[in-house]
Amino acid sequence: MYAITDLEKAVGYSVNQLRDRLDLLSPIFSEDLQRGKRGKILVGDKILAALRRMQELEREGLSPRVAQGEIIREVGNGDGKGQTTFGEGLRVYDGNELVEVLREEIKHLRKENEWLRARVEELTPLALPKPRRWLGWLRLIRGRQV
């Protein structure tokens, strides 16, 4: 079992980078991730190999999330059949469908934006104090002198 400090030396990631990548890999290799004494994170050989592969993929220019997907495709779901069941159920769109989905999302976000702006306009007067007349006393003085 390897601790975070061992992984830092082996892979070259910082502690925060390691924690982020372990969060990405933990659903795939949950049996290889354990807690030691005082909550210390301990990982096995499978996660170390996956971290090294993730590092290779990131050097090729992939983001950690995309690298996670690639590792899922390469390893499968750990069922021994080499088939991925972890990432199934994701809808793949072609170019035209994606454009339509994004247009609908933009329409929805514009409506939500309008509603939120209306709420801000409605609630702003309630949140701000009433305006004070700082020079009101000056008018009183001028009125007496005239």
pTM higher than 0.95 for the full model?
A: no
pLDDT by residue for the chain (146 residues), tens only, comes to 888 888 888 888 898 998 888 888 877 777 778 888 888 888 888 888 888 988 988 898 888 888 888 888 887 654 445 444 444 444 566 778 888 888 999 999 999 999 999 999 999 988 888 776 666 666 666 666 54
The domain in which residue 103 lies consists of: 92-128
61 and 12 housed in the same domain = yes
Hey, what amino acid is at 61? G
- CB neighbour burial string for 17-36, b if at least 16 within 10 angstroms, e if fewer: bbeebbebbeebbeebbeee
Q: Check whether residue 39 and residue 100 sit in a common domain.
A: no
Residue 96 lies in a domain: yes
In this prediction, residue 85 carries a pLDDT of 47
For residues 7 and 43, is the Cβ–Cβ distance under 8 A? Answer: yes
Residue 35 and residue 62 in one domain: yes
In a domain, 142, yes or no: no
Do 50 and 112 sit in the same domain of this protein? no
pLDDT given for residue 2 in this prediction: 85
Residue 62 is assigned to a structural domain of this protein = yes
> Which class for 50: exposed (0-12), middle (13-18), buried (19 or more C-beta within 10 A)?
buried
Q: Are residues 67 and 122 in the same domain?
A: no
